Amino acid sequence: MDVTISPSILNCDIANLASEIEKVRNADYAHVDVMDNHFVPNLSWGLPVVEAVIRQDILPVDAHLMIEDADSWAPAYAEAGCASVTFHAEAAVAPIRLAREIRRQGAKVGMALRPATDITPYIDLLPEIDMLLVMTVEPGFGGQSFLKSMMPKIRRTRDAISTANLQVAVQVDGGINRETICLAAEAGANVFVAGSAVYKAEDAYSEVEALRQLAKTHC
């Protein structure tokens, strides 16, 4: 599958939202982390900021919902115009119904797993989603160190997708930089969320291109 780069705006200057997204206009998506201070111990922003990113019309929005009661809230993000909406399996009571509702609203469906959550119970759900997000840090804060211990989980996920002959993307989020993107790509990931590595770089546009090339070649 094609390599996809999705910079997280969690690390950008939100006061200059349009110009910050413009810096990474060569990316595939703008990744927006929604946190409610309940599912994760941090509070970021909600639907109004997501809608503001959509209005900029620079990049499609990849929304990552780290929130409780995903069944109630996730469809609204699809309805607002997100290109992709990812909910956490741990926060969904009826993940299949939720996935179908997100898709009915016109968005691609992502399902995320915390580091300690096993992929095995969710393998049968893979046909219902477009992307499986394997968290490579504990969700909640940017700038954390990459968990190399997640590489076997990424491999198991990719193997399960291949065995089922599905076109499901594998996304990684947390600690992605020029070194770790190589490990994740080699393990089978093809969608990469990078926050600090991109927005703390001297040239965010060039960093997006560098990460893309590294992922394509597995370094």
* Pair 42, 35: CB distance under 8 Å: yes
Joined tokens for residue 180: 């770790």
Mean pLDDT of the chain: 95
Per-residue pLDDT, 80: 97
- Buried (b) or exposed (e) across 61-95, using 16+ Cβ within 10 A? bbbbbbbbebbebbbbbbbbbbbbbbbbbbbbeeb
Radius of gyration of the chain from its Cα atoms, rounded to whole angstroms: 16
Residue positions annotated with a catalytic role = 33, 173
pLDDT at 195 over 80: yes
Question: Residue 144 — very low, low, confident or very high, per pLDDT cuts 50/70/90?
Answer: confident
Question: Residue 110 — very low, low, confident or very high, per pLDDT cuts 50/70/90?
Answer: very high
Query: Tokens 């990931």 — which residue?
Result: 189
pLDDT of 2-51, one tens digit each?
Answer: 999 999 998 888 889 999 999 999 999 999 999 999 999 888 889 999 99
pLDDT at 212 over 80: yes
Per-residue pLDDT, 141: 74
Q: What integer is the mean pLDDT of 183-191?
A: 97
How would CATH label the architecture of 4-217? Alpha-Beta Barrel (3.20)
Output the CA–CA distances (angstroms, integers) from residue 32 to 84, 129, 145, in the order listed.
10, 19, 20
Domain range list for the chain: 4-217
3-state SS of the chain is: CCCEEEEEHHHCCHHHHHHHHHCCCCCCCEEEEEEECCCCCCECCCHHHHHHHHHHCCCCEEEEEECCCHHHHHHHHHHHCCCEEEEEHHHCCCHHHHHHHHHHCCCEEEEEECCCCCCHHHHHHHHHCCEEEEECCCCCCCCCCCCHHHHHHHHHHHHHHHHCCCCCEEEEECCCCCCHHHHHHHHCCCEEEECHHHHCCCCHHHHHHHHHHHHHHCC
Q: What integer is the mean pLDDT of 45-69?
A: 95
Q: What integer is the mean pLDDT of 105-120?
A: 97
The pTM score is: 0.96
Q: What integer is the mean pLDDT of 148-175?
A: 98
